[in-house]
């Protein structure tokens, strides 16, 4: 969180294990929240949108929280990967390896689920802004919808890659089901916002 954009991207591009796909997904989620805040700020105080002022203020508060949460999840994703990386290095015949690995895989799948849950909250506000936000910034709502979808699609990969190796298949499938529900609902809603705005702006609309 304390790195410049250039430093973060350089590390992301390197062989360093973190940040990786999970952190990148959370970063894109933070971008979505920030764009929502921008649109809300451009709408706030405008006479034309006075009837929505309480909603805009609520959205601003929620998106500030979501942006901070997403940035913290970048760090949390890196933290849970460290014990998983260490677990992979334990000899396969070492006592207790399986239990250590299972705990690490479970923790590593929990964080991307948190990212997806946070993205779902961003989407709630994003849908409102598509209706109540300044028309001069409606294209930015569309960009936020695209970023939110990217966040969901990226985070779910980091759920699946960890649950695939879990021995407790009941817990693994429970996480997979939760992730898929968030993904399928989120994709549909993000796409609806995105393509509705595209249509309103006179652009061509294609499939989801």
**Block means of pLDDT (10 residues each) for the chain, length 208 residues?**
87 88 96 98 96 98 97 94 85 88 93 97 96 96 98 97 94 97 97 95 77
The structural domain count of the chain equals 1
pLDDT for residue 2: 79
pLDDT for residue 205: 81
The answer to whether residue 8 is domain-embedded is no
What angle is formed at CA 6 by the lines to CA 194 and CA 41, rounded to 5 degrees? 40
Statement: the pTM of the whole predicted model exceeds 0.85: yes
The answer to whether residue 185 is domain-embedded is yes
pLDDT for residue 155: 97
Q: Quick one: tokens of 172?
A: 């693994």
User: Which residues span the domain enclosing 159?
Assistant: 19-197
pLDDT for residue 207: 59
DSSP 118-185: HHHHHHHHHHHHHHHS-GGGHHHHHHHHHHHHHHHHHHHHHHHHHHTT-S-HHHHHHHHHHHHHHHHH
The answer to whether residue 2 is domain-embedded is no
pLDDT for residue 3: 81
The answer to whether residue 11 is domain-embedded is no
Domain of 187, CATH number, reads 1.20.120.680
């Amino acid at each position: 969180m304390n790195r410049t954009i250039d430093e973060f991207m350089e590390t992301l591009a390197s062989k360093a294990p973190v940040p990786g796909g999970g952190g990148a997904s959370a970063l894109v989620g933070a971008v979505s929240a920030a764009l929502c805040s921008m649109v809300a700020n451009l709408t706030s105080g405008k006479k034309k949108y006075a009837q929505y002022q309480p909603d805009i203020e609520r959205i601003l508060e929620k998106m500030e929280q979501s942006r901070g949460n997403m940035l913290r999840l970048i760090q949390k994703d890196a933290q849970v990967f460290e014990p998983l990386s260490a677990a992979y290095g334990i000899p396969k015949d070492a006592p207790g390896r399986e239990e250590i690995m299972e705990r690490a895989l479970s923790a590593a799948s929990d964080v991307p689920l948190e990212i997806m849950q946070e993205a779902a909250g961003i989407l709630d506000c994003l849908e409102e802004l598509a209706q109540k936000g300044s028309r001069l910034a409606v294209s930015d709502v569309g960009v936020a919808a695209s970023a939110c979808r990217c966040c969901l699609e990226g985070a779910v990969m980091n759920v699946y890659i960890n649950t695939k190796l879990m021995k407790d298949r009941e817990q693994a499938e429970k996480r997979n089901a939760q992730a898929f529900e968030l993904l399928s609902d989120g994709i549909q809603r993000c796409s609806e916002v995105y393509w509705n705005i595209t249509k309103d702006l006179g652009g061509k609309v294609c499939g989801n």
